[in-house]
Amino acid sequence: MSGVTLGVWQFTENSPRLIVPVIDKESPLEATQRYINSFKENPLLRELVPKAYQNIELYSLQGSFLSEWPKSSRPKLAFIANWAEDLEPNGERINRNIQRFQQAGSDPFVIPISADLGLSLQETRAFHLELARHFDILVALGGDHIATELYQKQNMTSPEDWNSNITRDRSEFNLISAYKTLPRLKKGLFFGICRGHQFNGLIDGHELRSIGKAEADHFNSTGDSATTKQTWHPVSVEESSLLARLLRGFLHPLKGNRFFSKENEAENFSNRVGVVVNSIHQQVVILREDAISRPVAFHSPTMIEALESVPDENNKIISLSIQFHGEFPQDISKNEEFSLMGFALIKRIIALSRRNLALSRSSKNACLPLFRFNSF
């Protein structure tokens, strides 16, 4: 297999730590320059090139191999960037998420948009394998629509086209798929949010479809910010699921919930427990019975709000994805209870990863008893 290692580069000491594949005899900064040049030259990615990359001077950057970074007792986490601003040194969203997940107990890095640019198929596989081996948690964030070429035979636009990009989206699809399936030296955990949940559903064999503006309980089209675009609705959560255990203390009976607008909707949730969540999306995961992951939260009998899959003899990874934005702090969600729940979920996911790693160290063949979380 091609010799690929992981490099880390930063604009400044306090800016996000960006992961880049280093091939052959490159230095981390030479690999960074190769990536940035490929990014600028790609006709389908030019609109995503951050302003900070326009006149970048290589000598002004900080670069090193990932192996040179101090070892941390915290689970090593990688976000997948999908917005141009995620690659800016002062990008608001990525820095907010880095801070939030760091406060929850992880050691976060960022994988740039289409980080595999310019790599051969063999080099890309080696890059993915290095990511699977070195990162304990992979997080796919919310963002733009997923390119319809990945889930429809014809290239059909969504009701409101949210900047889909087939080059970026195919790269992210392949990265998530590889992380979930490649062999690894230790147990891993995938966590998907909104767009990341949709990728997870698509990869696992569920359907993805666009929804119209008439389905207003998923997106406020008159909003001009994350706060004003979000809407709220109830979701039922399977009580036997990992998600239910991670949300312990926040689940409530849904019957009689004030968010119900239709009688048949109330009947669907009769005698169920769940939570009220936010929503900013126009693509949804639709249940397929033959898919490999388990749907554990629903907005309707077929519309999936969360997916999970558990480790077995052949797969060491835990996979969990949610359609809602539990990562929003209170100043964005404007809902204190929801943001407290979201942060608790993140902390418990990271604690689960830490426990997972401890089991990996204690026994190479240890299988995590997923449904016994007395510590949460």
Strand partners, 77: 108, 137
What per-residue confidence (pLDDT) applies to 103?
Answer: 98
Split at pLDDT 50, 70, 90, the class of 255 is: low
Indicate if the pLDDT at residue 270 is higher than 80.
Answer: no
What per-residue confidence (pLDDT) applies to 374?
Answer: 47
- What's the average model confidence in pLDDT over 319-338? 97
Strand runs labelled E in the chain: 4-10, 18-23, 62-65, 76-80, 107-111, 137-140, 189-193, 207-210, 231-237, 252-253, 273-279, 283-286, 294-298, 303-309, 318-322
Indicate if the pLDDT at residue 313 is higher than 70.
Answer: no
Helix axes 166-181, 195-204, angle to 10 degrees: 60
Helix or strand (DSSP H, E) at 330: helix 330-333
What digits encode the pLDDT tens for the residues 86-124? 999 999 999 999 999 999 999 999 999 999 999 999 999
What digits encode the pLDDT tens for the residues 31-59? 999 999 999 999 999 888 888 887 777 66
Tell the CATH topology of 4-213+283-362: Rossmann fold (3.40.50)
Please enumerate in sequence order all residues whose Cβ is within 8 A of that of 365, keeping only pairs 6 or more positions apart, or say none. Answer: none
Express as a percent the part of the chain with pLDDT over 90.
Answer: 66
Exposure on the CB side of residue 276, measured as CA atoms within 13 A: 18
Look up residue 195 and give its two tokens. 């767009």
Indicate if the pLDDT at residue 163 is higher than 90.
Answer: no
Ranges 267-271, 295-299, 340-344, most confident: 340-344
Split at pLDDT 50, 70, 90, the class of 269 is: low
For residues 53 and 127, is the Cβ–Cβ distance under 8 A? no
Please enumerate in sequence order all residues whose Cβ is within 8 A of that of 214, keeping only pairs 6 or more positions apart, or say none. Answer: none
For residues 63 and 29, is the Cβ–Cβ distance under 8 A? yes
What per-residue confidence (pLDDT) applies to 301?
Answer: 79
Of 294, 282, 286, 290, nearest to 318 by C-alpha is 294
Verdict on whether the full-model pTM lies above 0.85? yes
Task: Give whole-number Cα distances, 293 to 108, 273, 275, 310, 372, in Å.
Answer: 26, 21, 21, 8, 19
> Which segment of 141-145, 257-261, 291-295 scores lowest on mean pLDDT?
257-261
What digits encode the pLDDT tens for the residues 18-33? 999 999 889 999 999 9
Output the DSSP codes for 141-210.
Answer: ---SPPPGGGT-SS-PPPSS-----HHHHHHHHHHHHHHHHS--SS--EEEEETHHHHHHHHHHT-EEEE
Look up residue 225 and give its two tokens. 């910010």
Query: Which value, in Å, is the radius of gyration of the alpha carbons in the chain?
Result: 20
What per-residue confidence (pLDDT) applies to 363?
Answer: 59
What digits encode the pLDDT tens for the residues 57-82? 766 788 999 999 999 999 999 999 99
Split at pLDDT 50, 70, 90, the class of 300 is: confident
SS3 string, 349-374, reads HHHHHHHHHHHHHHCCCCCCCCCCCC
Strand pairing report for 318-322 and 303-309? antiparallel
What digits encode the pLDDT tens for the residues 172-201? 999 999 999 987 767 899 999 999 999 999
Give 254 or 207, the one with higher predicted confidence.
207
